[in-house]
A and B are shown apart, each in its own frame.
Chain A
Amino acid sequence: MFRKLLPYVGKYKKYALLAPLTIIIEVFLEVNIPRVMAKLVDVGIANRDFSYILKMGLLMILMAVLSLVLGVFAARFASIAACGFAKGLRQGLFHKIQDFSFANMDKFTTASLVTRLTTDVNNAQMTFMMMIRMMIRAPIMLIMAVFMAVLLNAKLSLVFLFAIPVLGISLYFIASNAFPRFQVMLKKYDRLNAIIQENLIGIRVVKAFVRDEYEEEKFSDVADQVRQTQMKAEKIVVWNMPIMQFVMYGCMIAVSWFGGNLIIAGDMLSGELMGFISYITQILMSLMMITVVFVMFVITRASLVRITEVLNEQEDITEVVGAVNEVADSSVTFENVSFSYGGPKGNLILEGINLSIRSGETIGIIGGTGSAKTTLVQLIPRLYDATGGSVRVGGLDVRDYSLEALRNAVAMVLQKNVLFSGTIRENLKWGDENATEEDIIEACKAAQAHDFIMSFPNGYDTMLGQGGVNVSGGQKQRLCIARALLKKPKIIILDDSTSAVDTETDSKIRKALKEDLKGTTAIIIAQRIASVMDADRIVVMDDGKINGVGTHDELLKENSIYKEVYESQQRGVVENVGT
C-alpha cells in the first residue's frame, strides 16, 4: 500500500534520499564518539599525555559539530521531503476528486473526503517523516553501535546477545497485543463521535422530545466503554518503560560485573568500559525507537488505507478518443434508455425511456418522489452514464462528445445548488469567465435577480459567504439560474430550481426564459403543475417509466396520474371559485 503512495513524493525524491544519507553519516559519527572518548581516557589520562587529550577532545568536538550540522541538514531534507510528499498526496487527491463523476462522488460522503484530504494526509506526512528519519536511524544505529561494542570488547558484547532478543521480543509482544486493543478502542471512539454528531444534527429532535437525559445516558455509557478500552490498551503499553529499564539496568549490572572483572584481570581498560556503557544506551534506545515507529505506523495505517481508497477509485466517466467538440443543435433524444445506480446488475431506476425533444422546445417533467425525474435529466450532461440504450444531444450520443463541450452546451441548475465564497459577480462568472457587464446584467434580469442584487449596498460586488449563507433560499436559486444562463447554453435544465421562489417571480422567470432564449431547449422539473402547464409538452414520470407525454390539456384528458396530481393541487378551487 505504501508503495502505491510513494511516487507522490515527486520532485522531492532527492530530499527523501538525501535525508537518510545524511542521517547515516550522522549516526556513524555519533557511534564513534564514545570510542574516541575511551581512547582519551585510556591513552591520554593513563599516560598523562596532555596533547593527546586535547587532540582526541578536539576530534570529538569536531565530530559533534559535524554531526550537528548534518543533523540540521537531515531535519531540513526530511521536512522538505515529508511536506513535499504531503503536498503531492493532497494534490493527487484533490485532482482525483475533480475528475470524479457523480457516481464516484456518491460513494464517498463530503465529510469523509475532507477528512481524507486533511487529517489523513497529515498522518501520512508524519508517518513518512518517521520513516525517512527514525526507520533509517534506529536500525543503523543499532547495527553500528553493536559493531562498535564488539570492536571495543567482543567478550563483553555477548551481553547483547541476551539483552537485544529479550527486549526485542517483549517489545514485539507489547506492540502486537496492544494493536488489537487499540483497534477496539478506536471503534468505540468512532461510536462516541457518531453519537455526538447525531446529537448535533438532531438537537431539535432531542430537545423537542426532552430526551437529553436519555442521550446523556447513552453517551456516558459509550464514553465509559471508551475509558475501559483505552485503559485496557494502555495497560499493555505501560509495560514498555519498565521492561526497557529492566533490560538496560540488567545490562549495566552485567557489564559492570564482567567488565570490572576483565579490567581487574587486565583484559580491558577503564575507558573502554565507559565507552561500552554509552553503547548500551545507544543500542537499547534505538530498539525502543523502532517500536515507537512500529506503533505509530500501525495507528496511521487506517489513514493510508483511506487515502489509497480514493486514489484507486476508477473514474467511471471518461472521454472517447477523437471526441467531438461541437454540439450541433439543441435536440435531445432518449432511445430505450435504462439506468441503475448500481451498474448493470443493480435495480433499474429508469426503464424503457423513449423521448425525443426538438430544438427550442420547452418540456415540463412532473412525477412523485422517487419517480426518477432528476435521474432522467442528469443523463443529458452525462453526469451519469445510461446503463442501457442511448442518450443523444444534437443527434450524437453524449458519450461521443468531449465532456467540456457537452457540459458547456447543457446548463443544469441542480436541485441542491451551491454558491461559493466570493463576490456575486465572481460567482456568476462561473457561467462564463469572459462575460461582460451587460451579459451579466441581462442574465440576472432574466433570472429576476438583478433587482435584489442592486438592493445590496455593494450590488454585484457583494461578498457571499461559503454556500451563499447571506442570501435567502429564493435569492440563491435565482443567482444559480443566472449563473447557468450566462453559459448561453443550447439546453437548459431546471431541476426544481424555483421551489423557494415565490410563485409570481417563478412565472416571470419562466416568461423570460421563453422570450429570451428562443432556440434554447428548456427542461423544467417541478412539483407544482402551474410551473409546467404552459410548457410545449409535459412528461409524466411514474416509477422510472414515462407514463404519458402531451400538452396540459391532452394530459388532463388522458393521463390519470396527471389528472390526480392536478386535482389534488386544484381541489377546492373548482367547488369554490371554479363555478
Chain B
Amino acid sequence: MSGPRGKAMHLNRGRKPKDAGKTIKRIFSYMKGYRGHLAAVFLLVLISSAGQIAATYFLKPLFNDFILPFVGMQNPDLSAFIRMLVIMALIYASGALATFIYNRLMITVATGTLYKIRTELFSHMQKLPIRYFDTHTHGELMSRYTNDTDALRNMLSQSLVNIFSSLVTVTGVFIAMCILSPVLTVVVVLMLLLMLFIIKKLGGKSGKFFMQQQASVGKVNGYIEEMTEGQKVVKVFCHEDQSKKEFDKLNEELFEAAKGANTFASMLRPIMGNLSYMHYSITAIVGALLAITRGLDLGSLASFLQYTRSFSQPITMMSEQFNAILMALAGAERIFEMMDEKPEHDEGTVTLVYVQKDKYGDFVEVEHRTGLWAWKQINENGKVTYTQVKGDIRLNDVVFGYEENKTVLSGISLYAKPGQKIAFVGSTGAGKTTITNLLNRFYDVPDGSILYDGIPINRIKKADLRRSLSMVLQDTHLFTGTVMENIRYGRLDASDEEVIAAAKLANADSFIQHLPQGYDTLLTSDGTNLSQGQRQLLAIARAAVAEPPVLILDEATSSIDTRTEALIEKGMDKLMEGRTVFVIAHRLSTVRNSNAIMVLENGTIIERGDHDDLIEQAGKYYQLYTGMFELS
C-alpha cells in the first residue's frame, strides 16, 4: 500500500522549508516555558565566546609585556606575569563553566520542547478523522515521529546553539583582529570573501547532487519495499534474477548520485581547513613584513595568527550546520502540517449518561454504572431531558461516497428496532462496511440522516455515540500488553472477573488458560503469537466487556472456522441478547436467524426481509443461498 505515496515521502525528505521564518517562530513558541533558560543560555554563550576570544588575545600581552621584556634578565620579576596568568585562568574557568551550564540548560530546553511537540502531535493525531489515515501511509506518518522529530532534536540540542555561538565568536574574533591590526584585517576580509564564495559554490553543487541522491534513494527504497513485500511472489515466479538485475541498475544510479553528493559535502572541511592555513601563512608573511617595516609587535602577531585559526572554524561549522537546520525546518514544517490538519468535526451536544429511575419513574443522572443509559439533551432554555438509550436506529435516504462523485451508497433507508438483529449481505464493495462506518461517524453523511433513538447522530457527541456502539472488526488489532489488558480495552473499569466472564462468553477462556501465563500473558503488538481466529475471539470478548446497547459485527467470525463458530454460537447469542446488532458476514449460516437481512448491491438495498421471506422471494438471496451457500 505504501507504494507511490511512499516514494513521494522519500523524495520530499530533500525538500527545502517553505517558510523558514514562520516555522522558526512556531518552534520557539514551544519553548515559551523556557524563556528564562533561553535568556540564560544567551548570556552564557556570550561569556563562553568571550572566554575563547580572550584566551587568544592574551597572547599579545604575554609576549609583549611579560616575556620579551625579560629576555636575558637574570632574576626577572615575574609576579606580574603570574598575576596575569591567574586572571587568565579565572577567565578560562568562567568560560568553561559557562559552556557547561548552557549546554546543560539546552538539554532541558531541547528535551522538554521535543516532549511537548511529540505529545501534542500524538494527541492531535488521535483526533484526526479516519479519512486522514486512509490517505496517508503508516510509513509516512511514522516518519513524522522518527525522521522529522530526530532532525528537530538535532537542531534543538546542537545546531541552534552552535550557530549562535559561532556567530558570536566570529564577530568577536573579527573585532579583536581589527583592534590588533587593521592592516592585517584587510587580508582577513579578503579571505572571508573567498571562503564565502567557495561555500556558496560548493553548496550549490552539493545541493544539486543532494537532490539527485534523494530522488535516487526514493527509487531504490521504493523498489526494495515493493520487492520485499512481494518476495514470495518473486519466488513462486522464479523472478529472482530479473529483480536482482533491476535492483543492480537502480543501485548503480544511487551510487553515482551519492558519490557526488558525498564528495562535495566532505570536501568542505579540508578546503576550509586548508584555506585557513593559507590565510595563516599569508598573515604570517604580511605580519612579518609589518613587524619589520612598521614595527608590528610580536605579541600582536602571535595572537593574530591564532585568531586566523579560530576565525575559520566557526564559519566551517556554520556552513555544515546550515544543511542540518534546513532539514530540521523542513521536518518541522511537515510536523506542523500534520498538527494543522483539521481534527474530526464534532458539533454534538447530546451526551451519554448513566441514569436510574426515581420513585416517580423519572430518570435521574448518576455517576456509577446502572445498566441503564440515557441521552442527555439540554435544549435552548436550559431544560434537561433524558431519553433512555434503547438502540433504535434508522437510516433515511443515506447517500455517501469516500471520494466526491463516486457514490458508494445511494439512498439507503432502513431501521433497526431495539433488540433486533440486522444483517448485511452482498459482494465485496457493495457498501456493507461503509454503512457501519457511518453509524459510528468514522465518516459523516452528506445526504440523508441517521437517527439514534430519534436523535440525529450528528447531534450526539462523537465519543458518546461511539461508546454506545461496540464494534468487532474484520481485522483485529491487539495492543502490546497482557491478554487481560487487551480485553479490558473495551471498558477500562471492568474488574478481572468481568473480563474473564467476557472471555468465557466468547469461548476464548479455554485457549487463554492454555497460554503460558494465562490472562497475564504478554501479547506483542501485532499479536503474532496468536492465530487469526484466536485474535478474533479476543476482539469479541473485548466488545462483550464493553456492554454496549448496540453491537456491530463486521466479519467478526471470518477467520474462525465453521466448527468453532458453532461452538461460540451460544456465547454470541447471549452477547446479542437484548441488543440491537448489525452483522456483516460471509457465511449465510451466520445471518440466517436475523430479524431482517439486507441484500446490498452497488450501494443500494436490492432485497430485504427475514430469511424465509427472502427465500420465498426467490431473488438474489435465494440464488446465493441455494447455489453457492456463501458469499464474498
Are A40 and B236 interface neighbours, CB within 8 A? no
Are B267 and A207 interface neighbours, CB within 8 A? no
Are A500 and B632 interface neighbours, CB within 8 A? yes
- With contact pairs A193-B142, A245-B92, A572-B611 given, residues A105 and B263 touching in the complex (Cβ less than 8 Å): no
- Minimum CB–CB distance for A258 against chain B, Å: 11
User: In the docked arrangement, what's the CA distance between A408 and B240, Å?
Assistant: 13
- Minimum CB–CB distance for A500 against chain B, Å: 5
- With contact pairs A94-B247, A421-B4 given, residues A200 and B142 touching in the complex (Cβ less than 8 Å): yes
Which B residues are in CB contact (< 8 Å) with A261? 78
Are B280 and A33 interface neighbours, CB within 8 A? yes
Highest count of chain B CB atoms <10 Å: which of A238, A412, A472: A238
Are A263 and B224 interface neighbours, CB within 8 A? no
Partner of B277 from A50, A67, A196, A274 at Cβ < 8 Å:
A67
Are B477 and A368 interface neighbours, CB within 8 A? no
User: In the docked arrangement, what's the CA distance between A226 and B1, Å?
Assistant: 31
User: In the docked arrangement, what's the CA distance between A273 and B303, Å?
Assistant: 12
Are A264 and B70 interface neighbours, CB within 8 A? yes
Are B107 and A466 interface neighbours, CB within 8 A? no
Partner of A381 from B133, B236, B624, B632 at Cβ < 8 Å:
B236
Q: Which of B328-336, B368-376, B562-570 contacts A (4 or more CB under 8 A)?
A: B562-570
Interface size on A, residues (CB 8 A): 160
Is A205 in contact with chain B by the CB < 8 A criterion? yes
Which A residues are in CB contact (< 8 Å) with B278? 61, 64-65, 68
- With contact pairs A208-B471, A569-B629 given, residues A198 and B270 touching in the complex (Cβ less than 8 Å): no
Question: Given contacts A64-B281, A230-B111, could you give 19 more A-B pairs where the C-beta distance is less than 8 Å?
Answer: A118-B221, A198-B477, A201-B138, A207-B466, A234-B157, A238-B100, A238-B103, A249-B96, A257-B81, A266-B72, A369-B532, A418-B233, A430-B237, A466-B226, A467-B1, A499-B632, A502-B631, A530-B628, A568-B589
Which B residues are in CB contact (< 8 Å) with A86? 255, 258
Using an 8 Å CB-CB cutoff, how does the interface string of B297-312 with A read, 1 for contact, 0 for none? 0100110011001000
Are B85 and A110 interface neighbours, CB within 8 A? no
Partner of A114 from B114, B225, B442 at Cβ < 8 Å:
B225
Is A83 in contact with chain B by the CB < 8 A criterion? yes
Using an 8 Å CB-CB cutoff, how does the interface string of B67-96 with A read, 1 for contact, 0 for none? 110111100101001100100110011011
User: In the docked arrangement, what's the CA distance between A50 and B73, Å?
Assistant: 29
- Minimum CB–CB distance for A390 against chain B, Å: 21
Are A569 and B239 interface neighbours, CB within 8 A? no
Are B239 and A205 interface neighbours, CB within 8 A? no
Is A84 in contact with chain B by the CB < 8 A criterion? yes
21 A–B contact pairs at CB < 8 A?
A: A48-B292, A53-B292, A60-B280, A61-B282, A71-B270, A71-B271, A72-B271, A83-B262, A98-B244, A118-B224, A194-B480, A198-B525, A220-B119, A238-B100, A264-B72, A368-B562, A407-B238, A420-B226, A503-B628, A569-B588, A569-B629
Is B123 in contact with chain A by the CB < 8 A criterion? yes
Q: Which of B22-30, B55-63, B396-404 contacts A (4 or more CB under 8 A)?
A: B55-63
Is B66 in contact with chain A by the CB < 8 A criterion? yes
Are B3 and A203 interface neighbours, CB within 8 A? no
- Minimum CB–CB distance for A207 against chain B, Å: 7
Q: Which of B283-291, B414-422, B494-502, B571-579 contacts A (4 or more CB under 8 A)?
A: B283-291
Which A residues are in CB contact (< 8 Å) with B632? 474, 499-503
Highest count of chain B CB atoms <10 Å: which of A80, A95, A209, A483: A209
Looking across the interface, which residue of chain B has its beta carbon closest to that of A260? B67
- With contact pairs A200-B138, A241-B103, A421-B226 given, residues A84 and B255 touching in the complex (Cβ less than 8 Å): yes
- Minimum CB–CB distance for A533 against chain B, Å: 10
Within 8 A of A (CB), among B97-116: 97, 99-100, 103-104, 107-108, 111-112, 114-115
Are B251 and A87 interface neighbours, CB within 8 A? yes
Are B229 and A418 interface neighbours, CB within 8 A? yes
Are A527 and B532 interface neighbours, CB within 8 A? no
Are B442 and A571 interface neighbours, CB within 8 A? no
Is A204 in contact with chain B by the CB < 8 A criterion? yes
Partner of B100 from A58, A212, A239 at Cβ < 8 Å:
A239
Which B residues are in CB contact (< 8 Å) with A71? 267, 269-271, 273-274
Partner of A466 from B2, B78, B258, B532 at Cβ < 8 Å:
B2
Are A41 and B298 interface neighbours, CB within 8 A? yes
Is B199 in contact with chain A by the CB < 8 A criterion? no
Which B residues are in CB contact (< 8 Å) with A383? 232, 235-236
Which A residues are in CB contact (< 8 Å) with B565? 568
Are B3 and A466 interface neighbours, CB within 8 A? yes
- Minimum CB–CB distance for A344 against chain B, Å: 22
Within 8 A of B (CB), among A256-282: 256-257, 260-261, 263-264, 266, 270, 273-274, 277-278, 281
